[in-house]
Structure 1
Amino acid sequence: MKKFRGVYLKNEQEIAIMREANRIVSRILDALGREVRPGVQTMFFEELAQNLCAEYKVTPAFQGYHGYPFALCCSVNEEIVHGFPSKRILNEGDIVSFDMGVIHDGFFGDSARTYTVGEISVKAMDLLEVTRNSLLKGIAQAREGNTVQDISRAIQGYVEGKGYNVVKRFVGHGIGRRLHEKPEVPNFVPPGTQEMPLKAGMVLAIEPMVTVGQADVDILADNWTAVTKDRQLSAHFEHTVAVTKNGPEILSVSD
C-alpha cells in the first residue's frame, strides 16, 4: 500500500481481500432483502445481520464506530441514513434502506441498498430507479484519467435532471483499512473544489442519497438518524468500487 495525495493506494493482494469483504457484505444484503415484507420489525434485520456476521466470521464495521450501537443502519421512508433498527414495523408501501459494513482480514467492506415493502407508489419506485441509476452513472466515471469530481458531476447531473435532489450533508469516501479514508466523494460538485485525479489502486465507497423533495436534513433525538427536513422520501444505494487499470470494478457483488 502506498500514498497518493494522502490517499492509500491498494495493491492487488489488498484489493483481493477487499473483494472478499465486500462479497460478504453483498451476501448479507441479499439475505436481508429476502426477508423484507410488511409486518416485520426492523430489529429483526439487525439480529439477522449479527448472525450472518458470526457465520461469515467477520466483525460488524459500524457497531461501536463513534458510538453507533448497531451492526446495521436501517432507514425507512423519510430516513436518509444511520437509522436505528427498532420495534418499528414495516408497512405495505414503505421503502427501507440497509447500509451494512464488515471488517474482514483487516479491511472494510461497505454497501447499501433500498428495498421495497410490498407494493409501493409509482413515485417511490421512480425514486429508487433514479438513485440506483445515479450510482451506476457515478461508477462509470471511476477510471484513471478522470477525477473524483467527474463521479460527483455525473451523479448530480443525472439526479437533478430527473427532478430529484442529492443530499449534501453526507458523502461517499475512500475505504480500506479504515472505514472512512481520503478522498471524500460528494454526490455534488462543491463550488471551488480542486479536481482530485483518480489513480489505479484507489478504492471508493460511492453512495448517492436522493430525495423526492428538498435535500435539507434533520438529525433525530438519537443523534444518529438523519431524516429529510420536509419528511419526504429518500433512497440510498452504495457500492465499494476499485479503480483499476482496466476501469472501475464493483467489489460489493455476490457470487
Structure 2
Amino acid sequence: MILKNSKQIDLMREAGLLLYKAHMIAREMAEPGVTTEAINAEVEKFIISNNAAPLFKGVPGKVPFPAGCCMSVNEAVVHGIPSARKLEDGDILSIDIGVKLNGWCSDCACTHAIGTIDDEKQKLLDVTEECLRIAIRDIQPGVKWSKIAKKMATYARHEGFSVVDTLVGHGIGEGLWEDPQVPNYHSKVLKDFKLKQGLVIAVEPMINAGGKSTETLKDHWTIVTRDRKPSAHFEHTIAVTASGAQVLTCGPDGEGWAM
C-alpha cells in the first residue's frame, strides 16, 4: 500500500481532470450510428495533444491491448476493444479510460445509454452508479474496506442484480495497478485492509443484470456475461483524506457520475 502526500494527490487530480475531459468527449459522441473506434480515435487524440499517455494502449496480454479506451457494449463487462460496429438505439456502452500525466495515473469508467434504453438497462445503470456513490459516501480513514464492499454488494443484490466477483478495483498512483486489490463485494479470499489517509484507489463496481459468471472472448480481452445479459461499470479514482473521499476524476466543479 503506497500512501501519497498532498502534493502527489494534487498531481493525480490534474491527471483526473484531464481524464474527465476525455470522458466528456466520449460522452458527446456516444449516440446511435457512431462507431466505438471513432470515439476511441478522438479520445486518444485529445489525450496525446495534452502531453499525456493513454494508459491502456499496449497493455500486455496474449495480444497487447490495441486502444486507449475500453469500449464494452451491452453484455460486455469490461475490456471491450473499439470496433467498426455502429452503436444502436437501446445499447448501453461502458467506456473505461486511463491516462498518465506528469508521471501520475488516473482511471475511471462510466456506462452510457445510447438513445432510448429499456427499463431493465436503466435500472442497471442507476444501481451500478449508486454502488459507486455508496463507496464515495462511506470512505473514511480507519474504515475497513470490507464493510463498504459488503454494503455495495448487498444493495446491488437487493435490487435484483449480481456482482461480478472475478474482477476488482485497485490501488493507483505512479503505476496503474498498485496494492491493494479493491473488491466490490465482501471477499474471504482477498486480504481486507483499513482505509488510510493518502491511499488512492480506483473503485469500480461491475454489476450484471443476470448471473455473475463471465467469460473472455476469442479476442483475448473482451469479458462478457456468460448468460449474455447486460452489464454496467462505473469507476472513479478516489483519494482517502482526513475528511473522507476526494474524487480525483470528477469535473472542475465536482460534477460527474455518482457525485
Scaled by the length of structure 1, the TM-score of the pair is 0.95
1:85 aligns with 2:79: no
The letter for the 1-side match of 2:40 is E
1:116 aligns with 2:110: no
**3-state DSSP class of the match of 1:136?**
helix
The letter for the 2-side match of 1:12 is S
Q: Which stretch shifts more, 185-194 or 89-98?
A: 185-194
User: 2:246 is matched with which residue?
Assistant: 249
CA distance in 2, matches of 1:205, 1:179: 9
Q: Is the 8 A contact 1:141 1:150 kept in 2?
A: no
CA distance in 1, matches of 2:192, 2:94: 31
Unaligned 5+ runs, structure 1: 1-6
Q: Is the 8 A contact 1:77 1:94 kept in 2?
A: yes
Q: Which stretch shifts more, 78-87 or 152-161?
A: 152-161
User: 1:152 is matched with which residue?
Assistant: 149
CA distance in 1, matches of 2:97, 2:229: 23
Deviations 1:136-191 (A, max 9, x none): 11222221120121221121111111110111111000000110100001011112
CA distance in 1, matches of 2:190, 2:19: 32
1:98 aligns with 2:95: yes
Unaligned 5+ runs, structure 2: 253-259
CA distance in 1, matches of 2:221, 2:48: 25
How many angstroms does 1:20 deviate by?
0.6
The letter for the 1-side match of 2:14 is E
2:164 to 160, 164, 167: 167
1:45 aligns with 2:39: yes
Q: Which stretch shifts more, 143-152 or 10-19?
A: 143-152
Identity %: 38
User: 1:211 is matched with which residue?
Assistant: 208
How many angstroms does 1:27 deviate by?
0.8
Scaled by the length of structure 2, the TM-score of the pair is 0.94
CA distance in 2, matches of 1:202, 1:188: 19
Q: Is the 8 A contact 2:76 2:223 kept in 1?
A: yes
The letter for the 2-side match of 1:167 is V
CA distance in 1, matches of 2:72, 2:25: 17
1:201 to 172, 190, 198: 198
Q: Is the 8 A contact 2:146 2:187 kept in 1?
A: no
4+ aligned runs moved over 4 Å, structure 1: none
**3-state DSSP class of the match of 2:2?**
strand
1:227 to 219, 224, 228: 224
User: 2:236 is matched with which residue?
Assistant: 239
The letter for the 1-side match of 2:96 is D
**Number of equivalent positions:** 249
